[in-house]
Structure 1
Amino acid sequence: MTSSLELRGFDLTAAASPRGGRFRLHTLEGWLSVNRVRDRQKRMQQAGSWASTGFADAVKITASGTADYADPAACALERRELVALAGDAEYPLTVTDAAGLWTRFVEVDTFSAEVVNERRLRWTLTVTANDPTVYGLEAFGSAGLGSVAGTGRTWPRTWPRDWGVDPDATPSQVVVLNEGSTSYFPRVQIDGPVTNPVITLPETGDRIAFIGTVAAGQFLDVDCARRRVVLASRSNPLAGISVRNRVSFIGQWLAIPVGGATVQWTADDANPAASLSVWSYEGAWL
């Protein structure tokens, strides 16, 4: 049973909305569904079709409900604010049920708020999740670039020998979870100062390398799902520039496998101010 439904942070099941409305969810269809796209080939002069390979398609989700208000003016104002939630971009649609909190990223197709009377409205929402994956709770981790200076030989000789580790060979790491049933892409940022950073996923062999310097006050934003890499300033993050041409990669852009993985990074230097940040999820399901 669904206990809450939120679009862009607006709770469509709230006992008291920002303008005092009492929202009730009546229907939610398509949330837990999988649509498979298949290309079945008929068997010539035989019964049936050949087995096909299916791929998960976009998911259509519809929801409807009502909202009641003590103040007619509040009802009229929030009706307009509800319709304004139907923006042009992809937005999180979050459901909370007995198993926890789950998120899909959706485009709003229609959002209507019809007047029943001056204190009640009836709303209907239709969205499409182009990405059919359902995500669990968000997670975050960060790590600096650790280094241990080499100490050379010590006499008398001791065993085991410890020569120390060069900065460019010292991986720091963030443990990333995936308790779900399918892989997913994290989002990664590197804050400078750092030169030629390399991010790896040892479990799969994935590797992303940036050639260049991320200066102090700058950060490198790696959107693994869209394969976009932007260099920007913390003081003006919206004015970043694409540096995809300075990036090389191996594998699937750090796709986190089922069971989780470890995101590691190295660089040609190990400034204590440099850091790696990873935004991920506790799991992803199809």
Structure 2
Amino acid sequence: MPSLVIMPTYTIGSWSANVDDDFSCRWVVTSQTLHSGSARKTHATERPFGMGAYRARSYLTARSDTLQGWCQAPDFTGAAAARDRLLSVFSDGGQATLVKSDGLSARQLKVELDATAVKIEPWADAQGFDWQLSLYAADPRWLDTAVQTAGPLTVIGAATDGLDWGSGGLDWANGGLDWGSSGNSGVLSLSNPGTATTWPVFTVTGPLTNPTFTNPATGDLIAYTGTVETGQTLVIDTSPFTRSVALNGVDRFGFLASAQWIEIPSGGQVTVQFSGTGAGTVTATWQYAYN
């Protein structure tokens, strides 16, 4: 395993910086822009016949960051191999997860290479090189690597006490009065102490028909029309960066009768009321988010 040289460490896949790696190469970061916050997209129109401007809500922009440093290898062969390992980090043109850890917390950012190539400048002795990665993050938020969970919550339960009209009277054998099936709504409390908005993922297991999620404070409603059978799983990802609705892995986005997405504000908390018909369960998962 890589051994720590200095904090924080930066890891993308099997490559890490500020460590001595498994090939006796030392990777050190000398400068970076990742610790800075994201900029804001402002939306304003000048007022033609008055002071100032009309404005709309601002949002975080995508991130463009650089990570640069040097790599020292035990010999020139090791330096050539280290170069290849760095170039292979983004070999397929897709996104990768960058994890930054300072020993107290670990946060992750989805990144890819921007239009600038990976820069590598070999040293005169050929036993090392300076390097630079120019990174782009469409989702500018740092997400805590720890996943928060609320639930599983059983939405509908069967009552074992109450009036049992089916047998024509009182059923004391079950401990009292049996009303039959009762419908108990479930409430999930989701908090986010971070500095950026985050979005939950709802996982529903059957049997359940027409599951719905409501934010009572705003009236936002996510309503799925259909049945989640016993043994099936419905996953609703509300993030605008990964938004999807899938039943056992099959796309069911078109089954949403209402798609008023529920978000967890920065430094805040949201209460979500979940309802449906049946005896299924729901679990909410999310990550604290930071800019």
Call closer, same or farther: CA 1:187–1:9 in 2, change over 3 Å. Answer: farther
Q: Does 1:6 align with 2:11?
A: yes
Indicate which of 96, 102, 106 corresponds to 1:101. 106
Q: Give me the identity figure in percent.
A: 22
1-structure distance, mates of 2:192, 2:180: 31
2:147 paired residue number? 139
2:290 paired residue number? 285
Q: Does 1:127 align with 2:135?
A: yes
Gaps of 5+ in 1: 156-161, 233-239
2:38 paired residue number? 34
What's the Cα RMSD here?
3.5
Q: Scaled by the length of structure 1, what TM-score is found?
A: 0.75
Q: Is the 8 A contact 2:162 2:180 kept in 1?
A: no
SS at match of 1:128: strand
* Cα offsets for 1:116-159 (capped at 9, x unmatched): 3543232211112222333334323240425241522499xxxx
2-structure distance, mates of 1:8, 1:262: 36
Indicate which of 197, 207, 224 corresponds to 1:210. 224
1:228 paired residue number? 244
2-structure distance, mates of 1:217, 1:71: 57
2-structure distance, mates of 1:39, 1:201: 27
1-structure distance, mates of 2:23, 2:220: 49
2:3 paired residue number? none
Matches within 5 A, 1:177-192: 177-192=191-206
SS at match of 1:84: helix
Q: Scaled by the length of structure 2, what TM-score is found?
A: 0.74
Q: Does 1:80 align with 2:84?
A: yes
2-structure distance, mates of 1:163, 1:202: 31
1:159 paired residue number? none
Call closer, same or farther: CA 1:19–1:90 in 2, change over 3 Å. Answer: same
| One-letter amino acid of the counterpart of residue 8, structure 2 | S
Which structure's CA Rg is the greater one?
Answer: 2
SS at match of 1:185: coil
2-structure distance, mates of 1:6, 1:264: 38
Q: Is the 8 A contact 1:143 1:172 kept in 2?
A: no
Matches within 5 A, 1:17-96: 17-38=21-42, 50=53, 52-53=55-56, 54-70=58-74, 72-86=76-90, 87-96=92-101
2-structure distance, mates of 1:11, 1:120: 16
Call closer, same or farther: CA 1:88–1:164 in 2, change over 3 Å. Answer: farther
Gaps of 5+ in 2: 1-5, 165-169, 171-176
SS at match of 1:138: coil
The count of aligned residue pairs is 266
**How far did residue 230 of structure 1 move?**
1.6
